[in-house]
Amino acid sequence: MQMDPALLLPEIIVFLGGLVVLIGGSFLPRDRQWVARTVAALALVGAAIVAAVAMADPPQAAFAGTYAVDVATGAARVIIALATLLVLGVASGEIAGSHRESDTYALFLFAATGVMVLAGTTDLLVLIVGFLLTSIPLYGIVGLTGGKTGAEAAMKTYFMGSLSGIVLMLGVTVLYALAGGTDYSRLTDELPAAPVAAVGVGVLCVLAGLMFKAGGVPAHFWIPDAAQGTGGTAATFLTTVPKIGALVAVYRLVATVSTGNESWLIVAAALATASMFLGNLAAYWQSDPRRLLGWSTVAQVGYMLVPVAAVGRSDLALPSLLFYLAAYALTNVAAFAVTAALPEHRKLTDYRGLVRTRPGLALTLLVALLGLVGTPPLAVFVGKLTTATAAWDAGHGWLTFVVMLNSLLSLFYYLRWIGPAFARPTKDSSGPRPGTTGAWPAVTGATAAIASLGLGILAGSLWAALEGPLLL
């Protein structure tokens, strides 16, 4: 068991970058805050490079077995860093020159560090640390970037996060009492002999807490409200980055407790099904594009929980989850970047005629929304195909059908947004006006959409990098 701090170098780079931005930003005049943004971007790029290089090394257990440096951790680090970098692109057009610009960048980096910790932890106590390090900056991000509605969204997020944190810590306490330790290897050895009901309470509580970070059932309530009430930058971050670490943490936990008790795979399948149906059906009649995307996020979490139900039964489970996380991050950022580029358009009908006035944004929106549906050759299509295949390999044929059915159901409400954007504007409609916002969100959205297409086309060549053993 290594104690080498170099094994956590990506996390250290991002966290130190946050400290530099937080302290240095207070000495920068408002017209020089771009310096803080540049430092944050360099920290994220450096962390992504270091994490990618480290993926070539064999898996290692760090810090007395409390942290795993394996393919799941490496992929999550890269995705988290690059997704946060894209969020900085959205922020460059929305919060540039604001009073709290550098503070917001620092909170992004601190939260991203917590998400990385969630992805790599193999100890319940470290899981709590990652949860808190992700949650506390998130409350500030939601509140700082949304004005009055952002303050309300921050309160909802805070109360839901506090409750979820208490539930998670209750579950950790129960599992510690049953296993006599908090590391996952001890849980694997001790829990099969523990009372089934008590194990169920502990694991369900921990899963419920992690579902707050992931944004899935049963702790999903805050996602649509926060996505609608806060600014575009915060909405992009909270619906994208925390999910990456949370879902990898869920995968590790289920892989641990399902040893000798595969009933937990059915629990994961049930959570996936509930999230898919609830998210898609609730999105049907939403008129606010960000609220629609918030409910879409809940549904997407359901798709990404499908590989968790295939843990130990399919070799596709882990790589399909990691690939889907990367595909979703790019596609979701592209969709939210469009809303950030047109912040005054808060109804789907406001986008009528977008293709005539802002054809680049219209094309970005089309790629993003069709990507979320799972249209080939976009990256989410590969993610849905491989996750459904993993469920089939695991003997959950019904879950494969649920994935396909929900993908079809989601097409309706995405078309409710695509339709106006590509329709001819009415005589009494001014339509989206060119030049109503900065170019940064539009460029970021286009970059993410192109990357989503490229990832889908190159999926075969990238797949091998996502295959490898999972350390517990």
- Tell me: pLDDT of 1 over 70: no
- Looking at residue 95, its pLDDT comes to 82
Query: CB atoms < 10 A from the CB of 53, how many?
Result: 12
- Looking at residue 260, its pLDDT comes to 75
> Which is nearest to 140 in space by CA: 234, 53, 274?
234
- Please give, one letter per residue, the 3-state secondary structure of 137-156: HHHHHHHHCCHHHHHHHHHH
Element (H, E) at 68: strand 67-69
Burial 324-343 (b: 16+ CB within 10 A, else e): bbbbbbbbbbbbbbbbbbbe
Q: 3-class DSSP state for residue 369?
A: helix
- Tell me: pLDDT of 436 over 50: no
pLDDT tier, 277 (very low <50, low <70, confident <90, very high otherwise) = very high
Q: Tell me the mean pLDDT in the region 281-290.
A: 94
**How confident is the prediction for the chain on average, in pLDDT?**
92
- Looking at residue 107, its pLDDT comes to 96
Q: Tell me the mean pLDDT in the region 170-192.
A: 95
- Tell me: pLDDT of 433 over 70: no
Please report whether residue 95 resides in a domain: yes
At 219-237, the pLDDT tens digits run 998 999 999 989 899 999 9
Residue 170, domain extent: 5-466
At 71-101, the pLDDT tens digits run 999 999 999 999 999 999 999 888 877 778 8
pLDDT tier, 428 (very low <50, low <70, confident <90, very high otherwise) = low
With a pLDDT cut of 70, the percent of the chain lying above it is 96
- Looking at residue 3, its pLDDT comes to 67
Which string of DSSP letters, residue by residue, matches 240-255?
THHHHHHHHHHHHHHH
Q: What is the pTM of this model?
A: 0.95
pLDDT-wise least confident of 124-138, 140-154, 298-312, 359-373: 140-154
- Tell me: pLDDT of 65 over 90: no
- Looking at residue 5, its pLDDT comes to 81
pLDDT tier, 435 (very low <50, low <70, confident <90, very high otherwise) = very low
- Looking at residue 438, its pLDDT comes to 61
Separation in Å, CA 15 to CA 42, 106, 128, 395 = 12, 9, 17, 42
At 233-255, the pLDDT tens digits run 999 999 999 999 999 999 999 99
With a pLDDT cut of 90, the percent of the chain lying above it is 80
At 313-352, the pLDDT tens digits run 999 999 999 999 999 999 999 999 999 999 889 899 999 9
- Looking at residue 143, its pLDDT comes to 84
- Tell me: pLDDT of 430 over 60: no
- Tell me: pLDDT of 134 over 90: yes
**Residue written as token pair 């006599």:** 180
Please report whether residue 471 resides in a domain: no
- Looking at residue 4, its pLDDT comes to 77
- Looking at residue 6, its pLDDT comes to 86
What's phi and psi for 135, nearest 5 deg?
-70, -50
Count of structural domains within the chain: 1
Contact 209, 279 (CB under 8 A): no
> Which is nearest to 269 in space by CA: 121, 401, 124?
401
Q: Which of 258-262, 406-410, 460-464 is most confident? A: 406-410
- Tell me: pLDDT of 443 over 90: yes
Q: Which amino acid, residue 349?
A: T
Please report whether residue 472 resides in a domain: no
